[in-house]
């Protein structure tokens, strides 16, 4: 089952042109293939998910039509309240995901990455408690950009400028986006 799921994930990412070397900041033009890739990823995740998984959402820039993005898909997994975020380790690890970090003062989620080749990231999976502030923030920013094309376009310009200024400094790129994001969720 896990091998079949891993093959399905690989096919979804290959068709969508996703993948970026870890540590590099580069943007790809918006692509309609990203929505289909999420559909395929969602199908794999939903069909194998444990009971503690309440919802699986496409988040991040690849979830916003018309927005250039790092070609790495972000998926939010909302677990039922009271579930331990680490309870998904065996499930996600069995699908080939690597644990990248736990919730802390900087990030609200337990994060996993998916790579078909070492150091080429295709997917970031963010696990949060459904309804938590972090969960609401991810969805609110995504939904704001989807509903406000002027902000979506301004965010795209900011991201391109930051990617040009910091092509090898992911942390500086992220820090440069922070105030824009905080003001719009």
Average pLDDT of every residue of the chain: 93
Q: Is residue 181 predicted with pLDDT exceeding 80?
A: yes
pLDDT tens by residue, 106-149: 788 999 999 988 899 999 999 999 999 999 999 999 999 999 99
pLDDT in tens, 76-97: 999 999 999 889 999 999 999 9
Nearest to 129 by CA among 53, 72, 50: 53
- Residue-wise pLDDT for 2-26, tens only, equals 678 877 887 787 778 899 998 899 9
How many residues does the structure list for the chain?
185
38-52: average pLDDT: 95
The rounded distance, in Å, linking the Cα atoms of 122 and 66 is: 20
pTM of the model: 0.93
CB 129 within 8 A of CB 83: yes
pLDDT on residue 38: 96
Q: How many CA atoms lie within 13 A of 121 on its CB side?
A: 20
Q: How confident is the model at residue 1 (pLDDT cuts 50, 70, 90)?
A: low
């Amino acid at each position: 089952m896990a091998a079949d799921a891993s093959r399905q994930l690989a096919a979804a990412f290959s068709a969508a042109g996703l993948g970026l070397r870890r540590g590099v900041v580069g943007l790809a033009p918006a692509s309609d293939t990203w929505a289909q890739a999420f559909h395929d990823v969602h199908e794999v995740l939903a069909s194998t998910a444990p009971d503690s998984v309440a919802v699986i959402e496409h988040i991040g820039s690849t979830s916003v039509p018309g927005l250039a993005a790092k070609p790495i898909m972000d998926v939010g997994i909302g677990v039922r309240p009271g579930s331990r975020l680490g309870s998904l380790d065996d499930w996600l690890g069995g699908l080939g995901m690597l644990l990248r970090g736990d919730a802390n003062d900087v990030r609200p989620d337990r994060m996993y990455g998916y790579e078909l080749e070492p150091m080429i990231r295709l997917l970031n999976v963010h696990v949060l408690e459904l309804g938590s502030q972090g969960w609401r923030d991810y969805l609110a920013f995504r939904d704001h950009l989807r509903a406000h094309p002027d902000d979506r376009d301004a965010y795209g310009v900011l991201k391109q400028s930051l990617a040009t200024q910091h092509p090898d400094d992911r942390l500086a790129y992220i820090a440069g986006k922070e105030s824009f994001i905080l003001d719009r969720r």
